[in-house]
Amino acid sequence: MATACFLDAGSVGTDLDFAALTAAADDWCWHESTRPGDVAARLADAEIAVTNKVVIDAATLAANPQLKLICVAATGVNNVDLEAARRLGITVVNAVGYATPAVIQHVFALLLALATRLPQYSEAVRDGRWQTAPHFCLLDYPITELAGRTLGIVGHGELGSAVARVATAFGMEILLAARPGVNRAAGDRIPLPELLEQADAVTLHCPLTPTTRGLIDADALERMRSQAFLINTARGGIVDEAALAQALRSGAIAGAGVDVLTREPPRSGNPLLAPDIPNLVVTPHVAWASRDARQRLVDQVAANVRAYRAGTPCRVVTGAGTN
């Protein structure tokens, strides 16, 4: 009999069909959310843990020797102590590809909002400025065409490659960054500093790791063109948020679209939530969150549980014998 516990089921919403997931294990404990101090106790009887963003650290794993499988209901697995899981023989699996269409759509929603100055023009209409204009249109904010511009992509996996295909349809040129920490050209990729200097827009699609934490810092932002946009739908910790706020205030870059912050939700504020930052669009980590994508995610978690129970785990990140 396999007992499973979903620690933060509320994070995927309540408007989905959970039948496949419910049937994947014999017994379930469902929690809308879980505070850090309650994680170990809630997993006390579980063989299978499901987490979206709840942290499962080494102490929690050590306190739960019966735990055999951790299903991360996301692609990024930085909320699980993978080394401790490997040491204890706990299999960790993730979800991949489920949100690709939604994320692509959000990347270009942010980029187009910045390029067309959509928030500013919408606000101008709400403020009555169009209604009192001397001409048929307002030309208060410069609009940038994407065609002919260069998009730099950091992380060319499932999401980065899909973004590149759409960018090409807009008539953009593509630059691919070499793996973070590698400062030499590799095939069709160039070192990140060179990409930052050449790109008119930069979009991030790499995981948050010790190598990528703070990857876009003050020095990186200084390398970017003054007309460039930065898009981050990956993880908040990849960008130095205070440095980005300063770069936008000073005009060092032209704008930024951010769907992720270092701490979510931002209970105690965040440098990017200050009201005086120009040409910044912040959304609340929803690039992945179309109903279609969330249903694919739940179905994929169910498939992961079934595969584990059948003795053939899939989408394995780490486990006994995994390098």
* pLDDT at residue 321 tops 50: no
Which pairing describes strands 91-93 and 316-318: parallel, antiparallel, or unpaired?
antiparallel
Residue in this structure with the two tokens 């106790």, named with its chain if needed = 41
Tell which residue, 113, 174, 104, 116, has the closest CA to residue 145: 116
CA atoms 20, 25, 29, 31: torsion sign: negative
**Rounded distance between C-alpha atoms, residue 190 and residue 177, angstroms:** 5
Model confidence over 176-214: pLDDT tens digits? 999 876 656 567 899 999 999 999 999 999 988 899 999
pLDDT for 181: 65
Mean pLDDT of 30-56: 97
Is 205 one of the catalytic residues? Answer: no
Model confidence over 144-177: pLDDT tens digits? 999 999 999 999 999 999 999 999 999 999 999 9
Model confidence over 63-102: pLDDT tens digits? 999 999 999 999 989 899 999 999 999 999 999 999 999 9
**Rounded distance between C-alpha atoms, residue 65 and residue 72, angstroms:** 18
Fill in the DSSP letter of residue 214.
T
**Rounded distance between C-alpha atoms, residue 173 and residue 189, angstroms:** 13
* Element (DSSP H or E) covering residue 151: strand 150-154
- Structure tokens given for 285: 């980590």
Domains 3-98+291-318 and 100-282 share a fold: yes
Average pLDDT, the chain: 95
Inter-CA distances, 4 with 12, 22, 42, 101, 103, Å: 17, 9, 10, 29, 29
Mean pLDDT of 39-51: 97
Q: Which residues pair with 175 in a beta bridge?
A: 152
User: In the chain, pLDDT over 90 holds for what percent of residues?
Assistant: 92
Q: At what angle do helices 291-309 and 100-116 cross, to 10 degrees?
A: 150
Is 264 one of the catalytic residues? Answer: yes
Model confidence over 262-304: pLDDT tens digits? 999 999 899 999 999 999 999 999 999 999 999 999 999 999 9
Task: Say if residues 141 and 254 touch (Cβ distance below 8 Å).
Answer: no
pLDDT for 179: 82
Mean pLDDT of 241-261: 98
Of 235, 294, 296, 315, catalytic: 235
**Rounded distance between C-alpha atoms, residue 295 and residue 309, angstroms:** 21
Q: Does domain 3-98+291-318 have CATH number 3.40.50.720?
A: yes
**Rounded distance between C-alpha atoms, residue 286 and residue 288, angstroms:** 5
* Element (DSSP H or E) covering residue 309: helix 291-309
Amino acid occupying residue 251: G
Of 86, 285, 296, 315, catalytic: 285
pLDDT for 214: 97
**Rounded distance between C-alpha atoms, residue 202 and residue 44, angstroms:** 44
CA atoms 8, 12, 13, 17: torsion sign: negative
The reply to whether the predicted model has a pTM over 0.85 is yes
Inter-CA distances, 192 with 108, 158, 175, 297, Å: 22, 19, 10, 32
Fold designation for 100-282: Rossmann fold (3.40.50)
Domains of the chain: which residue ranges? 3-98+291-318, 100-282
Mean pLDDT of 309-319: 90
**Rounded distance between C-alpha atoms, residue 163 and residue 174, angstroms:** 10
Which pairing describes strands 69-72 and 48-51: parallel, antiparallel, or unpaired?
parallel
Residue 161: CB atoms within 10 Å: 15
pLDDT for 185: 58
Can you list the alpha helix ranges (DSSP code H) found in 212-285? 218-223, 241-250
**Rounded distance between C-alpha atoms, residue 159 and residue 153, angstroms:** 10
